[in-house]
Amino acid sequence: MELFAAGQPGLFRFEYFFALAIGALGIYLLLPSPRGKASVAGSIATLGSLGWLCFLGLAPGGFTIETGLFHLFAALALVGAVFLVTQTNPARAALSFVMVVICVGGLMLLLAAPFLMAANMIVYAGAIVVTFLFVLMLAQQDGPSDADNRSREPGLACFTGLALSASLLLLLQRDQDNADRGLGQMKALNAPVAELRLKQEQTLRREANGRPTAPADNTTFLGQTLYTTLLLPVELAGALLLVATAGAILIAQRRPGTEVTP
Amino acid sequence: MFEPAAIALIPLLPALAGALTLLLGPKILKQQSHWPLIIACVGSFLISLLGIQALTSPTLEIRQIVYQGGTWFATLGSNPVSVGWDFRLDPISAMMVPMVLFLATVIAVFSIGYMKDDPAYPRYFGVFSIFVAAMTLLVLSDNIVLLYAGWEGVGVCSFLLIGFWFQKPSALKAARKAFMVTRIGDVGLLLGILLLWSGCGFTLQIPTLIEKAKLLSDEYLYLAGFLLFIGAMGKSAQFPLHIWLPDAMEGPTPVSALIHAATMVTAGVYLIARFLPLLTMSPDLLLLIAVIGGITAILAALIALTQNDLKRILAYSTMSQLGYMFMALGAGRSDISGHSLVTFAMVAAMFHLFTHAFFKALLFLSAGSVMHSMGHVIDLRRIGGLRTVLPFTHIAFLSGALALAGVLPFSGYWSKDEILVAIDSASHGPNRDGVYKILTWLGLITAGLTAFYTFRAYFLAFWGEVKIPVEALSHGQHGHENDHGYASTHHEVNHDPYGSVSDPTKAHESPWIMTLPLLVLVPAALGIGALFGPTHRMMDFLGSAPGFHADHGDHSASKWVAMASQVFGLGGIAVAFLLYVAKPGMAVSIRKMAGSGYNLSLNRFYLDEILTILFVRPLQILGWLIQALDRELWDRLVDAVARIPAWLGDKFRPVQNGLVQFYALAMALGLTIFLVFLAFGDRLFR
Amino acid sequence: MIQIMDLPPGLTHYLVVGALLFVLGLVGFLARRNMILMFLNAELMIQGVALNFVAFARHRGNLEGQGFVLFLLAVAACEAAIALALILVLYRTQHSLDVSLWQNLREEGLEPILDEEPLPLSPLEEKSPSLTVAGPGPAQPEETSHV
């Protein structure tokens, strides 16, 4: 069952919009500001919005283990993201990003992509965030700076976020409507996909009760795909990494005359 | 047997020569640029002679040779226009074409000497060739649009050759004036063509047009004919569109000889003669043509009396003679009981055109020879007694003058005589006879005046004490080696205009390449009238043209005018001799006696000024108004529209505040708008 | 046999989560002024996109989407390397990570945008215990009367 499938076609689901609006308000309240942030009200609003969204997500199907895990990971990822956005201390923000990455990894596992889960965590949590923390420590040796206590136009940013997320949900809903009515791209997308999905399911290993196991062969298949159909992009990505390495070294070089001592 | 397609070669050869000269002249031919023109002219001349032979062969039933060389352009629809390369050689064009080509050849040879060392030598001969091509095309075309093409072609070449020395401001001005004034006529001609085309069942063939137009109503015919006549007036410098011709003398003298005396200016006469069977249906129009011709004839003669510029005298004389021709055409009445004068009038006009071309070309070439020897000074007050200095030129000029004055055995007499007889015969008809009587007398007086001013110029230039301008001495034989002919005016401003010396030893006769064409033209100018006139050869030949019939009718009632014109002519010569040779002082006292009349003539009756005030100034004011409107209203409106984006830009520029996050915000909002469009676009634009 | 994708966490669920992650990253990118945080937010946006790719790969039953996430990782790594290098260079010239210090590309004649509101004392400063300075006590005003 898809998220919007139960609704009446053509009508916008205002409950989603209200949930989003409350979330946006909460984030606005949580964002750092010179007047201090309303932490309690903001937290309540944001958590309320998240809870509502989870409720809406659970509503169509009823509870299973999978839905429970999905909602757990999704909610934790979003909470981490909210932390990342609103934390005054950059180091804490970086750590909350690690949380996001881990939760997204869990979602990827639910989506039968164990290799990506691992790669995502290793690359982000293991490499990128650590590098960020290094730079952070290099730059902000004397604690949080003034800039971390200010936001650039928080109201405008939250409004933009609300508008963008509302329009994205609207688009998804419309797409679902069209699919329900036998129109639009979803149907066209689904038609050839049905066969493929059947084929894939037949190749999946199954447990005794007929439920497919998490595809442990994922790494093998992914490797095959990467080195057959996606060979050229892989080589290009390698070249890109090389160029980026060289560029980073070149940019970060110390040049005389560019530095200002405070 | 004469192949009809050869007719098309007559304009084609000079056209090719022109293209060749203009393309190759500046780099390859250089000072040999005259050869393509001369070869083409001689070739075309021989073809035209063969054409005449074929035309006069007794086996030919209708005296015409038609060649249709395919379609030039055509449109479909209910009012079709179809213009083909249609050529027709009939007696009228068969008379014109060899004349044009013969004179073109002679004048081209003369130009070799006259234009020697000019830096634009190839351009001169290139445009010259194109002119010959356009003129023969005009004369030979059987299609009225093709005729119009040739008509415009000669106009353009005339413009280019008048303004040949375009570094000289006066030449530029004269060229522009000629082009603009003839343009008025050309528009008239075009409108006339369109009227005839729509009135005569959308045909453009000249003979068919003439046939069908006879069924038109009188008013329609009058209007169409009048418009055609306006075209002829512009091209043939008839009053009041005559003002361009005297100024056209700014061009090189051989050009004046060919274009502005012998050929192009007669295109109007040719056109009216061609359409005379049609125009004769409208007696009012004929009268108008005759009156305009008469006014032009006497007016030009009166102006020519007092001019001091030799070329200008000849220019006014040309106008006057063209006026004669139009008078003759205007006498082509068909409403006289007993016999129609159409053929007689046409033959008289064309005959005069024919003889006039020869002797006027001769006179102009003589003037050119004088200019060449005198360092481009042509002012009669500064030259004199040249008969010993320039003996060949003297003979040539004298011959031309005798022919022009209409002295008995020479050609001018025979043709002018026919014109006067034609006008006098027209005055014997019913209605309007009074006007034609006045015109007869006008013609006679003009004949006397013509003789007087021609011989005045002759005596002033070639008799009396020897006067040679300083320019002739400083430049000697190669007068325009360095100044290309336009520096002489410059000298005139700086020096005493009467600065002359009387040392004949330093001035020289022109080189043989210039005197030879003169001597070739002398017998042609003198004898051609007697050869064709009294023997009725011209009448038999031209009268056999389709649409006309030979007329040997008895005009003895009008023979008195021939005698009268002789008396007037000889009288004029005698007065000129008396005033300028025998008793030179008398001229001055008569000039004083005439007073304002003299000034009126000297200033060309102030016609240029009157026309300027009547037409040029209002147009200038209109132009100024339009310019002011354009600049003050439309321009400002456009500027205002242009300021809107600038204003908007000013308002939106602060958006670029340098903060990265604002740019990202704009991107995100744009993305949102795009997504909303994606979601609802199909509903909005359903 | 149970159809996998008919169970509640369907494609749209994942897409919504991806979208919300993306939007949160965007909000952070727009609102936060620390350059490092801005880039972390950008990485958050990339996480949302990666989740979308994986969800679509699952939905369509092929592995191209997952392969694409690997490229996304490669690009993110490159981006991080370059971004950090740039941040270092910028930091060296201004000794601050505040992105608002870089307004040099604004329209000519436009005043730079400055922070008007004063910051309150940081909670750290506020709450840190203030010990009395060691040594002799502060000078006390002399008593005016001895009763």
Pairwise CA distance, residues B133 & B146, whole Å: 12
pLDDT of A82 reads: 93
Q: How far is A243 from chain C (nearest CA, A)?
A: 9
Instruction: Please indicate whether residue B385 or residue B329 has the higher confidence score (pLDDT).
Output: B329
> Is residue A221 included in any domain, yes or no?
no
B-chain CB neighbours of A168 within 8 Å are 675
> Is residue A238 included in any domain, yes or no?
no
pLDDT of B64 reads: 85
Determine, for residues C100 and B657 on separate chains, whether the beta-carbon distance falls below 8 Å. Answer: no
A-chain CB neighbours of B684 within 8 Å are none
pLDDT of C18 reads: 94
Q: Which two tokens stand for residue B255?
A: 């050009």
Residue of A nearest to C77 (CA): A128
pLDDT of A160 reads: 93
> Is residue A209 included in any domain, yes or no?
no
Give residue C130's pLDDT band: very low, low, confident or very high (50, 70, 90).
low
Give residue B204's pLDDT band: very low, low, confident or very high (50, 70, 90).
confident
Examine the pLDDT at B344 and tell me if it is beyond 90: no
Determine, for residues A139 and C60 on separate chains, whether the beta-carbon distance falls below 8 Å. Answer: no
Pairwise CA distance, residues B548 & B419, whole Å: 17
Select the residue of A110, A144, A240 nearest C9 (Cβ to Cβ).
A110
Residue of A nearest to C20 (CA): A165
Determine, for residues A128 and C76 on separate chains, whether the beta-carbon distance falls below 8 Å. Answer: yes
> Is residue A197 included in any domain, yes or no?
no
What's the mean per-residue pLDDT of chain C?
Answer: 80
Q: How far is A174 from chain B (nearest CA, A)?
A: 7
C-chain CB neighbours of B657 within 8 Å are 103, 106-107, 110, 113
Determine, for residues A241 and C74 on separate chains, whether the beta-carbon distance falls below 8 Å. Answer: yes
Size (chain B), residues:
686
Question: pLDDT digit string (tens) for B109-124?
Answer: 999 888 888 888 889 9
Residue B654 at interface with chain C, using a CB cutoff of 8 Å: yes
Q: Which two tokens stand for residue B150?
A: 């040739």
Residue of A nearest to B663 (CA): A157
Tally of domains within chain A: 1
Determine, for residues B665 and A156 on separate chains, whether the beta-carbon distance falls below 8 Å. Answer: yes
Q: Which two tokens stand for residue C81?
A: 């390397």
CATH of the domain at A22: 1.20.120
**Strongest mean pLDDT among A203-212, B343-352, C131-140:** B343-352
Examine the pLDDT at B621 and tell me if it is beyond 80: yes
A-chain CB neighbours of B681 within 8 Å are none
Q: Which of B382, B384, B302 is nearest to B594 (CA)?
A: B302
pLDDT of chain A, 262 residues: tens digit per residue: 455 654 544 455 778 888 999 999 999 999 888 877 778 898 999 999 999 888 887 766 667 788 888 889 999 999 999 999 998 888 889 999 999 999 999 999 888 888 899 999 998 888 888 888 888 888 776 666 777 888 888 899 999 999 999 988 888 887 777 666 655 454 445 555 556 656 666 666 566 665 555 555 678 778 888 888 889 999 999 999 999 999 999 988 877 766 555 5
> Is residue A152 included in any domain, yes or no?
yes
Name the phi and psi angles at B202, rounded to 5: 60, 35
- CATH for C8-101 is 1.10.287.3510
Examine the pLDDT at B328 and tell me if it is beyond 60: yes
Select the residue from B672, B674, B676, B680 to test the A interface by mutation, using most A Cβ atoms within 10 A: B672
Task: Name the C residues in 107-126 with CB < 8 Å from any B CB.
Answer: 107, 110, 112-113
Give residue C5's pLDDT band: very low, low, confident or very high (50, 70, 90).
very low
What is the number of helices (H) and of strands (E) in chain B? 29, 4
Question: pLDDT digit string (tens) for B92-107?
Answer: 888 899 999 999 999 9
B-chain CB neighbours of A164 within 8 Å are 668, 671-672, 675
Pairwise CA distance, residues B137 & A241, whole Å: 80
Examine the pLDDT at C24 and tell me if it is beyond 90: yes
Question: pLDDT digit string (tens) for B525-580?
Answer: 888 888 887 777 788 888 888 878 766 666 666 678 878 888 888 888 888 888 88
Go through B129-155 and write b for each residue having 16 or more CB atoms within 10 A of its CB, e for each that does not.
bbbbbbbbbbbbbbbbbbbbbbbbbbb
Pairwise CA distance, residues B206 & B225, whole Å: 14
DSSP A131-190: HHHHHHHHH-TTSS-GGGG--SSHHHHHHHHHHHHHHHHHHHHHHHHHHHTT-HHHHHHH
Examine the pLDDT at B247 and tell me if it is beyond 60: yes
Mean pLDDT is lowest, of A138-152, B613-627, C28-42, for A138-152
Residue of C nearest to A175 (CA): C12
Q: How far is B653 from chain A (nearest CA, A)?
A: 20
C-beta separation of A116 from C54 below 8 A: yes
Q: Which two tokens stand for residue B620?
A: 């200038």
Residue of C nearest to B657 (CA): C106
Beta bridge partners of B501: B468
Beta bridge partners of A212: A206
pLDDT of B497 reads: 46
Residue of B nearest to A158 (CA): B665
Q: Integer distance in angstroms from the first to the last C-alpha of chain A?
A: 60
Name the phi and psi angles at A194, rounded to 5: -55, -45
Determine, for residues B659 and C100 on separate chains, whether the beta-carbon distance falls below 8 Å. Answer: yes
Task: Output the 3-class SS for B568-593.
Answer: HHHHHHHHHHHHHHHCCHHHHHHHHH
Q: Which two tokens stand for residue A131?
A: 């590098």
C34 DSSP 8-state letter: B
Pairwise CA distance, residues A94 & A124, whole Å: 11
Q: How far is B657 from chain C (nearest CA, A)?
A: 4
Block residue for tokens 């203030």:
C130
Residue A41 at interface with chain B, using a CB cutoff of 8 Å: no
Q: Which two tokens stand for residue A48?
A: 């309320």
Determine, for residues A248 and C81 on separate chains, whether the beta-carbon distance falls below 8 Å. Answer: yes
Task: Name the C residues in 50-109 with CB < 8 Å from any B CB.
Answer: 99-100, 102-107
Share of chain B above pLDDT 70, in %: 92
Residue B119 at interface with chain C, using a CB cutoff of 8 Å: no
Block residue for tokens 């809870």:
A51
Select the residue of C7, C12, C91 nearest A3 (Cβ to Cβ).
C12
Let me know if C23 is exposed, middle or buried by CB neighbors in 10 A (0-12, 13-18, 19+): buried
Select the residue of C24, C50, C80 nearest A82 (Cβ to Cβ).
C24
DSSP B293-359: HHHHHHHHHHHHTT--BHHHHHHHHHHHHHHHHHHHHHT--S-SSS---HHHHHHHHHHHHHHHHHH
ipTM, 2 dp = 0.84
Residue A159 at interface with chain C, using a CB cutoff of 8 Å: no
Determine, for residues A152 and C31 on separate chains, whether the beta-carbon distance falls below 8 Å. Answer: yes
Pairwise CA distance, residues B21 & B194, whole Å: 35
Q: Which of B163, B312, B148 is nearest to B234 (CA)?
A: B148
A-chain CB neighbours of B667 within 8 Å are none
Question: pLDDT digit string (tens) for B278-308?
Answer: 888 888 898 999 999 999 999 999 998 888 8
Question: pLDDT digit string (tens) for B505-536?
Answer: 556 777 888 888 888 888 888 888 888 877 77
Residue C138 at interface with chain A, using a CB cutoff of 8 Å: no
Pairwise CA distance, residues B359 & B433, whole Å: 32
C-beta separation of B543 from B532 below 8 A: no
The helix (run of H) or strand (run of E) holding residue B83 is: strand B81-89
Determine, for residues B668 and A170 on separate chains, whether the beta-carbon distance falls below 8 Å. Answer: no
Residue of A nearest to B671 (CA): A164
Determine, for residues A153 and B661 on separate chains, whether the beta-carbon distance falls below 8 Å. Answer: yes
Determine, for residues B656 and C30 on separate chains, whether the beta-carbon distance falls below 8 Å. Answer: no
Residue of A nearest to C17 (CA): A74
Question: pLDDT digit string (tens) for B369-413?
Answer: 888 888 888 888 888 888 888 888 899 999 999 999 888 788 888
B-chain CB neighbours of C30 within 8 Å are 661, 664-665, 668
Select the residue from B650, B661, B663 to test the C interface by mutation, using most C Cβ atoms within 10 A: B661
Give Rg (Cα) of chain B: 30
Block residue for tokens 């949102």:
B672
C-beta separation of B626 from C82 below 8 A: no
C-beta separation of A34 from C118 below 8 A: yes
pLDDT of C102 reads: 85
B-chain CB neighbours of C38 within 8 Å are 661
Go through B450-481 and write b for each residue having 16 or more CB atoms within 10 A of its CB, e for each that does not.
bbbbbbbbbbbbbbbebbbbbbbbebeeebbe
Q: Which amino acid is at B117?
A: D
Question: pLDDT digit string (tens) for B636-680?
Answer: 999 999 999 999 988 888 888 888 888 999 999 999 999 888 877
Determine, for residues B659 and A152 on separate chains, whether the beta-carbon distance falls below 8 Å. Answer: yes
B-chain CB neighbours of A163 within 8 Å are 669, 672
Which residues of chain B approach chain A closer than 8 Å at the C-beta? 659, 661, 665, 668-669, 671-672, 675-676, 678-679
Select the residue of B661, B669, B675 nearest A168 (Cβ to Cβ).
B675
C-chain CB neighbours of B653 within 8 Å are 107, 110
Q: Which two tokens stand for residue B346?
A: 């046409």
Q: Which two tokens stand for residue B680?
A: 């609802």
Determine, for residues C12 and A62 on separate chains, whether the beta-carbon distance falls below 8 Å. Answer: no
- The C-alpha torsion from B477 through B478 and B479 to B480, rounded to 10°, is 160
Within 8 A by CB and 6+ apart from A54, the residues are A71, A74, A75
Examine the pLDDT at B486 and tell me if it is beyond 50: no
Chain B neighbours, 3+ Cβ pairs < 8 A: A, C
> Is residue A201 included in any domain, yes or no?
no
Pairwise CA distance, residues B665 & A156, whole Å: 8
Q: How far is A148 from chain C (nearest CA, A)?
A: 6
What is the three-class DSSP state of A11? Answer: coil
Size (chain A), residues:
262
Residue of B nearest to C114 (CA): B659
C-beta separation of B339 from B311 below 8 A: no
Mean per-residue pLDDT, C71-92? 89
Q: How far is C132 from chain A (nearest CA, A)?
A: 24
**Strongest mean pLDDT among B481-495, B624-638, C89-103:** B624-638
